[in-house]
Structures are given as C-alpha cells and as structure tokens.
Amino acid sequence: MTKEQVTGAAEEEQQAQSKKALKKQQKEAEKAAKKAEKQAKLAAEQQTADEDDFAKDRYGVSAMVQSQEKVDRTLVRVQELTPHRGGQLVWVRARIHTSRAKGKQCFLVLRQQQFNVQALVAVGDRASKQMVKFAANITKESIVDVEAVVQTVEQKIESCSQQDVELHIERIFVISQAEPRLPLQLEDAVRPETEGEEEGRATVNQDTKLDNRVIDLRTTTSQAIFRLQSGVCQLFRDTLINKGFVEIQTPKIISAASEGGANVFTVSYFKTSAYLAQSPQLYKQMCICADFDKVFCVGPVFRAEDSNTHRHLTEFVGLDIEMAFNYHYHEVIDSITDTMVQIFKGLRDHFQTEIQTVGKQYPSEPFKFLEPTLRLEYREAVAMLRAAGVEMGDEEDLSTPNEKLLGRLVKEKYDTDFYVLDKYPLAVRPFYTMPDPNNPKYSNSYDMFMRGEEILSGAQRVHDAQLLTERALHHGIDLEKIKAYIDSFRYGAPPHAGGGIGLERVTMLYLGLHNVRQTSMFPRDPKRLTP
C-alpha cells in the first residue's frame, strides 16, 4: 500500500478509537514493557554467567537484523552441504528443526525449506558447557546462524536430507526466536494418516493446519505442493506464450452479474453496488472480438456458492484460455489438451522430488496421460455408464458420482487419468454455448477430467448477436442485463472457443490429493475467511 493511504488509515483509526480501546492498548503496552524488562534481566543474567565462560563470544542472541551493516559473509545453503565441502568451515542460516541434549553434547537438526542436516555442539576447545546449554535451550523453529565445520560421516544419516555430512558447530547465534509453545508440531503435520491410526501417533487435523498456516506451510509436504503449483502456472503460461497467446488482465469488479445474479458476491462501490467476477469469460471474449486472437489469463475467480465439499472454494485461481479458430472448435480443444500435456510432462520431468515428497504423506498412483489426448463423446460416456448399470437419460447431466465412475471406466479401458468429454447435451449448458449444427440435442461443448474429476469446462461460444439473443430468450435471461455482452458481437466477431481451468484442482488431482484446501495456500470457503 502507498504511504499516503496508510497514514490516512492510521489517522482515521485514531479518531475512531473509543476510550475502551485505548485502555486495552495501554494494557498491551504495559505487557510489552514487562516482557522487555524480563528479557533485559535474562540478558543481564547471561552476562554474569558469561564472565567465567571462555566461549562467551561464540554464542548468544544476536541483535535484531535491522540492516545495521553489510556483513561480508557467505551463507551456505543446507542443500549444498555435501561431502565435497568436507573439512570446510562454513556459515549456515537455518531453523532449529529438532534439538536433543545428551550429556556434554547437543544434537540439532537444522532445516532450510525441504532440506535438513544434523549438527552437533559438544563441550571442547570451541564450545563451553554454557554454550552447549545455550544451544540446547534454543526453542524449536527459531532461526540461527551457525559457524561449523562440515564433517563427512561414515554411517548415512537416514533421517536427514543431507545424509553424508554433519556440522560441528563452533559458533551459534539466534537470529529470530520462536515462542516456546508451537501450535502444531511439524513432524505430526507430515505424518501419513494410516501411520497415525495404526501406530497411535499424533496427526494434525486440517482445520488446525489451516488455522496455523504459517507453520503448516513449512512442512516438506506443503513446500513441495506449492513449489509444484508455481510450476503449473509457469508451464501453463510458457506453453501458451510459445503458441502465440497474449496474456490479458481482466477486471474482477464488475457492474452487472452477467449470469443473472445467483452465486455472486456483492461489493459496495462508492455510492453504488458492484459484483465480483464469477469468471473472466466476458472479458476474454471481448479480447477475441478485439482481435487479440488467442488470449489467456491467470487470476482469482469468485463463487458465492454455499458448497462445503472437498473440491469447492469461494475464491480460486482460474487458468483461462480463449481462442479464435478457423473452421472447427476442435482446433481449440487440441490447443488446450496439448497445453495440459505440456504441463503434465513438465511436472513429471522437473518436479519429481516434489511429487515423491508429497507421496510420502499422501501415497497415490503416478498420473497417466495419452498423446494425443483421449476425446470421448458424451453419448459414448452415457453408453459406458449404462453398460456399468447406471440408469440415465440421453440429455441428463452427469452427477459427481457418475463422473467418478466414468473416470474409473475410462482408466480401465484406455489407461489414462486425463481425457476430454465432448458434445454435451445442449440443455445442460449455458445459453452462450454453440448448438451442435448436426444434432439440435447436443452442443459444441466439452469438459476435461483428471482422475475422474472435472478440471475444465469449455465450449465454442455463440459469436453471432442474433443467435445469442435467441438463446438467451430461450433460457429466460433478462436481455437488459446482458446487453453489453451481446453488443460485443455486433461489429464483426470471429468464431471462438475456450475454457477455464481451476488451478487448485489441477494440483490436487495431479498429486492424487483429496481436498482442494491442501492446494490453496489460504483457502476461502463459506466457513473460512482466515488467515
């Protein structure tokens, strides 16, 4: 935020504060002052103890890093601690992952993101009794700077990512201290549920994880999930830019709920009301009508649906595509499926460590896909389901359980976790969907599925203002409310198709996870707005 805004905010705040609030703040201030006093006392005690300690300059709590000076010191990354650094004296900054004092020694595991290394402080030339005690008392999750000799070890340290070396600490300084009581333990948060159940060991439930997301995101599983998700975004964009797509930015605050007003969040906008966009579709289509030819966007999508399921969020990230085509919307399906295939290949080839890390906590089969992508017609799917005993009409929509069953049938028959279902019944699709020219019951629309769950919904759009008017009337939609949308097609519009992909669902289903909240850093649902 800009400085002006914040200053303004502070002033307004100040004015609005009641006496009661002021009292509360005074109390807080007193509390802070007491805490500071206590810390000063502790520091003084330490100093007294220091006087007969030969190692007293080799450990302690550093002054807060406030950019006092430019220190000419290279910090080595934990993942770089390998036998070829054996014998070297290095500086490392890391968190205290675990700590165990044992007589005159203290064993620490130092962690940096998904990497960790064993470290040791032992009474001797370089460390005093007091220093070992100090090290043993550093709270878990605190950040420390250590100077240490890298020692190769004979027996692999199985519990650490750096299995061939350990650090012999000669100096240790606390850079940032963690409070002694953590709201959750990292080792519990990554424990597979089966292990928890079978061996009676602690696991952490999802709400506790999400309530304490700053700590939960430090686990190897979370680190892997979100690094892989960053990769999904990058692969999506890189593939499309290589195909000649242009990235666009579409507004999220809109003046009218183009779909009729259901499931839309209302925003107070100065003296009027506005809405949060349920999809960038209108804007993508306007860009096609404005000659951008092939466009994509990555951004938040808002749904005011009171759905409390494993796969619904009220705010998620849409990976959206829209593209003019020449003669047949399958040109667009081919572009989208190829993009998905490039994402799957990129993940498989460049994120194997992350996939395996997540697999340790949440085991799943590797994700399978075909080239070219399997494309089934809706009526074929209905036939497969009927053969499996499902009763359903030709023009009936797929229920979620039937989608899952279909996913299993397709996997059995074609050995793929990714496929396209084409030619949905016209009746179950939105008014702007292009009808099938050869069979009025069907439409030029498609969904894409990963492991039996929908990740994309798309279609050829009606690009003719007159047909669009007719279709809207047929659906009983108020023409007044979608006038701007229809008018976009009055000045020459190329035939086009597109679709929207849910990022969190792609990550979830690729990794074989079972809840979309695991792949949203700060998920939003009808019951969760924090952190």
Distance CA 58, CA 49 (A): 14
Q: Does 520 bind a second copy (CB under 8 A)?
A: yes
Contact 104, 129 (CB under 8 A): yes
With CB under 8 A as the contact rule, the residue among 79, 98, 151, 177 that binds a second copy is 177
Q: Which residues have a Cβ under 8 Å from the Cβ of 356 and sit 6 or more positions away?
A: none
Q: Name every residue whose Cβ is closer than 8 Å to that of residue 382 and which is 6 or more positions away in sequence.
A: 392, 394
**Residue pair 165/117 in contact by the 8 Å Cβ criterion:** yes
452: which 2 tokens? 């039996």
| Catalytic annotation, pick one of 97, 111, 171, 311 | 311
- 99/134 Cα distance (integer angstroms): 11
The answer to whether the CB of 443 falls within 8 A of the CB of 430 is no
> CB of 54: closest distance to a second copy in angstroms?
27
Candidate list 263, 342, 364, 515; residue touching a second copy; CB under 8 A: 263
Length in residues, the chain: 531
- How far, in Å, CA of 192 to CA of 276, rounded? 38
- 387 binds a second copy per the rule CB under 8 A: no
Q: Which amino acid makes up residue 148?
A: A
454 is an active site residue:
yes
Residues numbered 81-100 forming contacts with a second copy, rule: CB under 8 A: 93, 95
Report how far residue 333's alpha carbon sits from residue 458's, in angstroms, rounded to the nearest whole number: 9
* The binder of a second copy chosen from 123, 136, 149, 217 (CB under 8 A): 217
Q: Which stretch binds a second copy (CB under 8 A): 46-54, 79-87, 230-238, 349-357?
A: 230-238
Least Å from the CB of residue 338 to a second copy? 17
Per the CB < 8 A criterion, the answer to whether 276 and 267 are in contact is yes
DSSP 113: T
Q: Select which of 305, 331, 377, 453 is catalytic.
A: 305
Round to whole Å and give the CA distance between 322 and 96.
48
For the CB of residue 465, give the shortest distance to a second copy in the complex, in Å.
9
Task: Between 22 and 44, name the residue whose CB sits nearer to a second copy.
Answer: 22
Which of 58, 209, 429, 517 binds a second copy (CB under 8 A)? It is: 429
Q: Using the rule CB under 8 A, is 440 a contact of a second copy?
A: no
Nearer to a second copy by C-beta: 114 or 128?
Answer: 114
d(CA 84, CA 78): 13
Instruction: Please compute, for residue 296, the number of CA atoms within 13 A of its CA located in the half-sphere on the CB side.
Output: 23
What string of DSSP letters covers 28-75? Answer: HHHHHHHHHHHHHHHHHHHHHHHTT-TTGGGEEEPPP----S----PB
Radius of gyration in angstroms for the set of CA atoms belonging to the chain, rounded to a whole number: 29
Binding mask 98-137 for a second copy (x = CB under 8 A): --------------xx------------------------
Q: Which of 237, 348, 457, 524 is catalytic?
A: 457
The letter for the amino acid at 337 is T
Active site residue 311: yes
How close are the terminal C-alpha atoms of the chain, in Å? Answer: 19
Does the footprint of a second copy cover residue 10 (CB under 8 A)? yes
Residues 272-311 that bind a second copy (CB under 8 A): 272, 274, 276, 278-279, 281, 283, 286-287, 289-293, 298-300, 302-306
C-alpha angle with apex 118: 113 to 121, nearest 5 degrees?
125
Does 307 participate in catalysis according to the annotation? Answer: no
Question: x-or-dash pattern for a second copy, window 240-259, by CB under 8 A?
Answer: -x----xxxxxxxxxx---x
Check if 191 is active-site.
Answer: no
Q: Which of 303, 429, 471, 517 is catalytic?
A: 303
Please identify, among the stretches 155-163, 378-386, 403-411, 516-524, the one whose residues bind a second copy according to the rule CB under 8 A.
516-524
Please identify which residue in 223, 342, 364, 515 interacts with a second copy, judged by CB under 8 A.
223
Q: Does 222 bind a second copy (CB under 8 A)?
A: yes
Q: How far is the CB of 123 from a second copy (least distance, A)?
A: 26
Does the annotation count 303 as an active-site position?
A: yes
Q: Which is nearer to a second copy, 267 or 341 (CB)?
A: 267
Q: Which is nearer to a second copy, 357 or 444 (CB)?
A: 444
How far is 238 from 343, CA to CA, in rounded Å? 10
Is 315 among the residues that bind a second copy (CB under 8 A)? yes
Which residue type is seen at 188? D
Member of 108, 210, 224, 317 binding a second copy (CB under 8 A)? 317
Helical (H) or strand (E) element with 249? none
Beta carbons of 276 and 227 less than 8 angstroms apart: no
Cis peptide preceding 372, ω within 30 of 0: yes
44 is an interface residue for a second copy by CB under 8 A: no
> Least distance in Å: CB of 43 to a second copy?
14
Among 192, 346, 359, 430, binds a second copy (CB under 8 A): 430
Report the alpha-carbon distance of residue 157 to residue 325 in Å, rounded.
57
Which listed residue (454, 461, 463, 520) is catalytic? 454
Round to whole Å and give the CA distance between 283 and 487: 13
Rule CB under 8 A: say whether 392 interacts with a second copy.
Answer: no
* Residue closer to a second copy (CB basis): 122 or 489: 489
Q: Which residues in the 443-502 window bind a second copy by CB under 8 A?
A: 444, 454, 457, 460, 463-464, 466-467, 469-470, 473, 475-480, 484, 488, 490-495, 500
Query: Which active-site residues does the annotation give?
Result: 303, 305, 311-312, 454, 457, 505
